[in-house]
Structure 1
Amino acid sequence: MKYGPRLGVNKMFLNRKPKCAVLQCVLILTSILFLGFVLIKSQFNLASTDKNIPAKNKIGFENNGRHLYKRSGLRVNFETNNLDLRIIVITYNRPMSMLRCLNSLNDVDYVGHRVKLDIFIDRSSESKKVDQETYSIAKAFSFLHGEKTVNVHKKNVGLYGQWLDTWRPTEDNKEIAVILEDDMTVSPYFYKWLRAAHAHYDTRADVSGYALANVYQLAAAPGGIVVPLNYTAYMYAILGSWGFSPHRDRWQEFLVWYDSASTNASFNPYVEGIRHTEWYKSFQKTNSEGSMWTMWHIYFSHIHKLYCVFPNLPDRYMFGQNHHEAGLHYSGNVKADQLDKLVSKSNWNPDFLKMPKNAIKVDYYGRISFR
């Protein structure tokens, strides 16, 4: 009698053991199935992209049938307000060219300012894959002056996506940005000049941006652009894409306009009477106008009467050098005298930072005016 209730309790639990065992088996089986599903899903994701590319670095773009443009899911944070300079390097499958560019960025004097390096890697339009050597070198590169991120596009975006969606700053963003293609190298003094140019010209409503390299050979005038050397900078009606630093406000306005204008399949951004339009039309004949995003910026600048600021230095030295690597626009052959034109310690002059008080403007045909 004394132990009756306890024995009854033990019998009750003994009778429940088979049910518990069945429940445990069900739980274990469910866990195994769930784990198997997760593993299969992750393997499928890796197989459908690239084994060495982490998903968190992927960016999405969409194609509207004519050009590539930003999707709302862009995962790059441009809301960082504590940066002085954002460097954007765009690349695809030229790993050693990219490394040369990155190494030149490590040699720059950033005067102690806050700098961030963003590397954007495009995918192949055919295989949809990322060049693994380019990705590995970008990930392994040690940027000595600030944070570095490597961003891999989710799909092929071409030059349009690389240029037009790698910097979309918010309205309260005050950073300077410069966009470099991977076959560029920069002068150790490029940031000093760029900062001085922004400080002097950013308040003007007719400035589209700033270029690190001059455009003597691109002028429509037979003799090219010739500006008196007592002017350390000049304003030209067409941007320079060899190291371009957009004016924040004008760039935002241009992107809004482009996102709308590019959806009109019947619209062409022609500026009649200039060489660039002829180039663009020739690209259209071969369905390769996607290699010339600049035509849209040229048209936008034309209708708003905007100018790009360029350095004007002795012997045509510059703060950014394009090496004309083989790609969409060049065969890879470049004359030796076109290289090694970067401003260096041996030819640097602090007077290069003295911007002209009176702006000197150059039109499409090389004609000079003062405004």
Structure 2
Amino acid sequence: MKTAIPSYLKLGSIFVICMCLFVYLNWDTVPPRNISYMNFTVVREKGNVVHLVPEINTTSEQVYKRITETYNTRDREYDLRIIVVVYNRAQSLTRLLNSLNEAEYGKDFIKLEVWIDRSIDQMIDSLTLRSANEFRFKHGQYSVIQHPRHVGIYGQWLTTWKPKINSSEIAVILEDDLTVSPYFYKYLKLVHRKYDSYPDVNGYALQGSTIKHSVRDSSQLQGPKGSLVFLYPVLGTWGFSPNPKKWIKFLDWFAVASRNKDYQLNVPGNVVSDWYRQFQREGKTSSIWSIWHIYYAWKNNEYTLYSNFEGHAGLSTNWQEDGLHYLNIRKTTNILLTEWKPEYEILPDKPHHVDIAGKVIS
């Protein structure tokens, strides 16, 4: 005698089968649990480091093709390549792009790139994409690039610039919640030309304000009086222009070091190390890529050059909008530099070095 199978069991079985089929067909869109554990491959030319490519497991030929086209396509060099990284803040993006349109570039060859990340569900924010596509850059080439997969803040910062060996190209990486001074490129040209050959200079911060990074004192950092620029052990992420050779070496090191999940990123006395350990406990390390650069700079005795204009005026300012690092603040970190003076072009041969406690050490 056959026993009748209850209808609810039949329906449950059909549901399970359908869900398994859905997961199978959409396996390539399943997001990683923690993007901080994404690995990166170093792409080399003739044995030299060029750039990083995110390692994304996929069986889809279409996805693999998009990854190859996005990260391995070579481009000509420009005098300036502006890299804007954005996820889902269309209004912020438009504000930043408008400020870039108002900047001075002379007759130099400029390329502006907007890199849009996906959600962990592999979706592109439609309003952000539309805002990017509708923008018209007045000063050179312009392109909108969609990451083929979700890469997070690590991928946005570490895979978007592909400097050639011995590159003379200036690049600047800007997150979407910034605006820039009309003179940001004028400044970058001067400092790159002056300091790129200095062995301890790894890049140039655009921001006019930052904290001291000492665990004992995280108040606002004050530059040395009378100094137009100074060197500081921690990069500025509110607009950063890497020294090309130093950036390539950092990426080469990061691609190897980040594979070691037990790597201890401890910089003695630096508050960012404390933040990182707290994020580790909370499973939020995907939001703090900069600790790797801070640690690498500390190990290799490298510094970032900061400006020291009156009143903490900067070449960029951060609007501190809701996102990975801010909530309900919505005010700018510093004023923008709105006037260029001839004396700004007289840069010191030996900029002062300042430690994380704000003390001049040389």
Establish whether residue 114 from structure 1 lines up as the match of residue 106 from structure 2: no
Give the letter aligned to residue 311 of structure 1: S
CA distance in 2, matches of 1:367, 1:65: 33
CA distance in 2, matches of 1:252, 1:306: 14
CA distance in 1, matches of 2:286, 2:345: 36
CA distance in 2, matches of 1:191, 1:248: 16
CA distance in 1, matches of 2:35, 2:87: 22
CA distance in 1, matches of 2:180, 2:123: 29
Q: Tell me the TM-score normalised to structure 1 length.
A: 0.78
CA distance in 2, matches of 1:335, 1:102: 19
1:1-371 aligned within 5 A: 66-69=37-40, 70-71=53-54, 73=68, 75-76=70-71, 79-125=74-120, 127-220=121-214, 221=217, 224-335=220-331, 338-339=333-334, 341-344=335-338, 347-370=339-362
The answer for unaligned runs of 5 or more in structure 1 is 1-46, 49-60
CA distance in 1, matches of 2:36, 2:287: 15
Alignment RMSD (CA, Å): 2.3
CA contact (8 A) 1:79 1:169 kept: no
CA distance in 2, matches of 1:280, 1:215: 22
Calculate percent identity across the aligned residue pairs: 38
Which 4+ residue blocks in structure 1 deviate beyond 6 angstroms?
Answer: none
CA contact (8 A) 2:36 2:154 kept: no
Match for residue 31 of structure 1?
none
Task: State the 1:355 CA deviation.
Answer: 1.4
SS of 1:369 mapped into structure 2:
coil
CA distance in 1, matches of 2:264, 2:234: 17
CA distance in 2, matches of 1:158, 1:64: 6
CA contact (8 A) 2:39 2:255 kept: no
CA contact (8 A) 1:64 1:263 kept: no
Bigger CA radius of gyration: 1
Match for residue 49 of structure 2?
none
Give the letter aligned to residue 37 of structure 2: R
SS of 2:361 mapped into structure 1:
strand
Q: Tell me the TM-score normalised to structure 2 length.
A: 0.80
CA contact (8 A) 2:230 2:352 kept: yes
Aligned length: 307
> Once structures 1 and 2 are overlaid, which stretch shifts more, 226-235 or 71-80?
71-80
CA distance in 2, matches of 1:334, 1:368: 32
Give the letter aligned to residue 120 of structure 1: W
The answer for unaligned runs of 5 or more in structure 2 is 1-24, 27-31, 41-52, 56-67
